[in-house]
Chains A and B, each alone.
Chain A
Amino acid sequence: MSYLRAEWTKFRTVRGWVLAMIVASAAIVGLGIMPGMQGTCGDDCGLPTGPGGEEVTDAFTFLHQSLTGDGTITAQLTSLTGILPADPDPSAEESRGTGPSAANGTASGRPGLVPWAKAGILLKDGTRPGSAYAAVMLTGAHGVRLQYDYTHDLAGPKATQPQWLRLTRTGDAVKAEVSADGSTWDTVGTAELTGLPATVEIGLFATSPQYSAATSGAFGISGAFGGPTQATGVFENVSVTGTATGSWHGEKVGGADDVASGTSQENARFTVTGSGDIAPAVAGASGLGVTITQTLVGSFAGLIVVVVVGTMFITAEYRRGLVRTTMAANPRRGRVLAAKAVVIGAVTFVTSLPGVAAVVLIGQKVLRANGVYVHAVSAAIETQVIVGTAAVLAVSAVLAMALGMIVRHSAAAVTTAIVSIVLPYLLAMTVLPAGAGQWLLRLTPAAAFAVQQSTPEYAQVDNIYTPINGYFPLPPWAGFAVLCGWAAIALAAATLLVRRRDV
């Protein structure tokens, strides 16, 4: 305890270090709430919530009737076509991530399908956006899929040809089947839709998500462009068994008013055209708005400050020869190192936590006030991001201190610490091509920034899942473990060296 107390007294009696810690916290807050991002999202901005509580996109064209009790719907999808935006002019359309614009405008351009264009049959708890559903569909490039309740996605045959599709409801279970010829059926999977009411809407649907692509500049990603698309499914041999009521009714579910949509019937042939998506809502280039991660853009500035202070906490002693006084007073050198690690780690955590918490909570309000859509997250995720970021700063400071103990000279140690901790993060966030950046964020201490990811990646939603949009290659705690691993290695090396070396 006397070791800890001595190191704590040392830290708190250098005013520069204490001020620097406050500055680090203030920088995170300041950069986070600085009005940089503007959007067009007013009070009406909002996303429907799915059965799992997550924000979802639920916009499609639905030709449906009611089904009470158990029953089936079968249809032969005879064609799936679509329209993509005209050849992009990257300078004209930059990703701004500013509210739901995905479903705006009409698609006019070249024929084609985005990979997740969808048409097929769908069973849904009413037509309210966000309600429970199960659908079996053909997609633009991902074959036949069973999707239900937004986050679930099961792959069926890798067909690209139109298929026969069937959904069978038995209680809460909805079985999806696919057939090439309408006589031999393969099961894709079964969706459990807990609490499904007796009467549901069943029918044909089509939708097609925003087209988006990254534009590559000379130094990797420099922007993204995109635009609305549409998909048209043509259906024949549509049959319903069970207690169906009402006639076929075409309807646009969710989405903006001006979206391309339409249904038509010609004898036994149904055509459904739609634009939008039925999927979890994502933030970023092809999604809507931003995540709370956006409020932590100032993390790197705080990181630089705490890394410098962490290094100086020991190198300042080497520079003046004060380290001899320290080691004479506390001859167990491993314990001195441990005490320094605990003090710098705890101080960094405690001083950065309020700043991080403030910027995440206030920053969201500022962004929303500026019309930027910010994805809602659970309190648990918010806690993960806030506590995680403070912990990343704390462990980074410990790592920097250990590097300082190894290198001993202030300038060399600060450079080493910045290059190994801060630089990979900045490179991955800015100039590096996505692939190289992802590897940096797997292997270097900067991997720990994964704790700032607040929304998951979904395979069934095309998006530019890059760190700048708040998506990291490792899960949060795995990324944090990478940083802790580096800190542990550096501490072990420093302990070994400090025990063996003359002071």
Chain B
Amino acid sequence: MTVQNIVVDGLRKRFGSKQALDGMSFTVDAGRVTGFIGPNGAGKSTTMRVVLGLDRPDGGTALVGGHPYRTLPRPLTELGSLLDASALQPSRTARNHLLWLAHSQGLGVRRVDEVIELTGLGSAARRRAGGFSLGMRQRLGIAAALLGDPRTLMLDEPFNGMDPEGIIWMRGFLRELAQQGRAVLVSSHLMSELQDTADHVVVAGRGRVLADTTVAQLRATISDGRVSVRTDDPNAAAALIAAGAAVVATEPGTLSVTGLPAPAIVAALNARQVVFSEVTAHRATLEEAYLELTRDAVEYRAGEVAR
């Protein structure tokens, strides 16, 4: 049985006329990276603030390790979080930023040096945080989240502003944290950032959960068995229809075929001696799956903006 580190149940929150959370419910379990994805305005950050007890929901509950966050005596030892990497006093050094946080949890300076080591901040830790790049701030934010050695981590858009090297480091680091048995919730508005990292995804839109599933299942729900056939032979369509497939001409020289697997299509074309240059089984990417799911939930479409 998995331990549920974060349980979000029916959260509702309204900001003025905007319903930011509209029944948001999901759980975050130990030992895996849970991706929390959705377009901007889907309610991801608001959910995280409610989990941390910063925002009060209009309805619903959020529990961390079975308790409301604000009742935890030393909360950073239970849940480490990173909401905004730029939330720093610019004139304070990174190390001193970690030091006051450590003191707030009754931790000592030794743990500060440990997380500096863990996150690769190194000598930069003694520089003023105001001069840090966004990527360095993200590392500092991760270090702060790890200070209390918590069972659960909750990171809001940690890939923002990271260079490719940093992104690779972050992905490996998050997987490693999950392998240690921690629950890791990572939000992003880009599926591509999470597809190689997350084991499980919670897709949010308009304040609700649209899908709560494993990465493999999400991919499967979207794969529709379409196969592309490149051919200039006018007999191709007739041959495939005769074999039982449905055919649509998508562009000159390309047919989109459904109803037959790729090997059967190749066999049918060969039997009628139709010349073709390529048969490709179409595989939906997670990105497509995500876009499909959130199509109705996107707040601002390019078209609307352009209008």
Residues of A bordering B, CB below 8 Å: 2-3, 5-10, 13-16, 316-317, 320-322, 324-332, 502-503
Contacts of B103 in A (CB 8 A): 2, 5-6, 8-9
How far does the Cβ of B86 sit from chain A's closest Cβ, in whole Å?
A: 7
- Which of chain B's residues has its CB closest to A336's CB? B104
Task: Compute how far the CA of A96 lies from the CA of B104 in the bound complex, rounded to whole angstroms.
Answer: 55
Q: Are A13 and B105 in contact (CB under 8 A)?
A: no
Q: Are B92 and A14 in contact (CB under 8 A)?
A: yes
Task: Compute how far the CA of A316 lies from the CA of B90 in the bound complex, rounded to whole angstroms.
Answer: 10
Q: Which of B52, B75, B86, B90 contacts A321 (CB 8 A)?
A: B86
Residues of B bordering A, CB below 8 Å: 49, 52-56, 69-72, 74-76, 81, 83-84, 86-93, 96-97, 99-101, 103-106, 144
Contacts of B88 in A (CB 8 A): 320, 322
Q: Are B104 and A15 in contact (CB under 8 A)?
A: no
Task: Compute how far the CA of A97 lies from the CA of B53 in the bound complex, rounded to whole angstroms.
Answer: 62
Q: Are B55 and A502 in contact (CB under 8 A)?
A: yes
Task: Compute how far the CA of A81 lies from the CA of B138 in the bound complex, rounded to whole angstroms.
Answer: 88
Q: Are A6 and B49 in contact (CB under 8 A)?
A: no
Contacts of B101 in A (CB 8 A): 6, 325, 329
9 contacts between A and B (CB under 8 A): A2-B103, A2-B106, A9-B100, A316-B89, A317-B89, A321-B86, A326-B104, A328-B83, A332-B70
Contacts of B97 in A (CB 8 A): 13
- A14-B89, A329-B101 known; 7 new pairs, CB 8 Å cut-off, are A2-B106, A6-B100, A322-B89, A328-B81, A331-B72, A502-B54, A503-B49
Contacts of A322 in B (CB 8 A): 87-89
- Which of chain A's residues has its CB closest to B46's CB? A502
Q: Are A331 and B53 in contact (CB under 8 A)?
A: yes
A15-B91, A324-B83 given; A6·B104 CB < 8 A: yes
- Which of chain B's residues has its CB closest to A10's CB? B100
Task: Compute how far the CA of A320 lies from the CA of B52 in the bound complex, rounded to whole angstroms.
Answer: 18
Instruction: Name the residue among A15, A324, A332 with the largest chain B CB count within 10 angstroms.
Output: A324
- Which of chain A's residues has its CB closest to B87's CB? A321
How far does the Cβ of B146 sit from chain A's closest Cβ, in whole Å?
A: 13
Q: Are A321 and B84 in contact (CB under 8 A)?
A: yes
Q: Are B106 and A329 in contact (CB under 8 A)?
A: no
Q: Are B72 and A13 in contact (CB under 8 A)?
A: no
Q: Are B76 and A320 in contact (CB under 8 A)?
A: no
A14-B91, A322-B89 given; A9·B106 CB < 8 A: no
A13-B100, A502-B56 given; A331·B49 CB < 8 A: no
Q: Are A324 and B87 in contact (CB under 8 A)?
A: yes
Q: Which of A5, A8, A320, A328 contacts B54 (CB 8 A)?
A: A328
- Which of chain A's residues has its CB closest to B107's CB? A2
Task: Compute how far the CA of A207 lies from the CA of B45 in the bound complex, rounded to whole angstroms.
Answer: 83
A6-B100, A325-B144, A502-B49 given; A331·B91 CB < 8 A: no
How far does the Cβ of B301 sit from chain A's closest Cβ, in whole Å?
A: 29
Task: Compute how far the CA of A316 lies from the CA of B87 in the bound complex, rounded to whole angstroms.
Answer: 10
A14-B91, A320-B87 given; A3·B53 CB < 8 A: no
Q: Are B99 and A9 in contact (CB under 8 A)?
A: yes
Task: Compute how far the CA of A13 lies from the CA of B98 in the bound complex, rounded to whole angstroms.
Answer: 11
Q: Are A331 and B99 in contact (CB under 8 A)?
A: no
Q: Are A325 and B87 in contact (CB under 8 A)?
A: yes
Instruction: Name the residue among B93, B101, B104 with the largest chain A CB count within 10 angstroms.
Output: B104
- Which of chain A's residues has its CB closest to B76's CB? A329
Contacts of B54 in A (CB 8 A): 324, 327-328, 502-503
Q: Are A13 and B104 in contact (CB under 8 A)?
A: no
Q: Are A328 and B75 in contact (CB under 8 A)?
A: yes
Q: Are B52 and A13 in contact (CB under 8 A)?
A: no
Q: Are B100 and A324 in contact (CB under 8 A)?
A: no
Q: Are A328 and B52 in contact (CB under 8 A)?
A: yes
Contacts of A6 in B (CB 8 A): 100-101, 103-104
Contacts of A327 in B (CB 8 A): 52-54
Task: Compute how far the CA of A351 lies from the CA of B26 in the bound complex, rounded to whole angstroms.
Answer: 52
A6-B100, A9-B103 given; A329·B75 CB < 8 A: yes
Q: Which of B55, B71, B91, B106 contacts A16 (CB 8 A)?
A: B91
How far does the Cβ of A253 sit from chain B's closest Cβ, in whole Å?
A: 66
Instruction: Name the residue among A8, A14, A325, A502 with the largest chain B CB count within 10 angstroms.
Output: A325
How far does the Cβ of B276 sit from chain A's closest Cβ, in whole Å?
A: 58
Top-9 shortest CB links A-B = A6-B104, A13-B96, A321-B87, A9-B100, A331-B70, A502-B55, A329-B104, A5-B103, A503-B54
Contacts of A503 in B (CB 8 A): 49, 54-55
Q: Which of B86, B90, B93, B144 contacts A13 (CB 8 A)?
A: B93
A14-B91, A320-B87, A502-B49 given; A329·B105 CB < 8 A: yes
How far does the Cβ of B264 sit from chain A's closest Cβ, in whole Å?
A: 57
How far does the Cβ of B77 sit from chain A's closest Cβ, in whole Å?
A: 11
Contacts of A326 in B (CB 8 A): 104
- Which of chain B's residues has its CB closest to A17's CB? B91
Q: Which of B52, B71, B105 contacts A2 (CB 8 A)?
A: B105
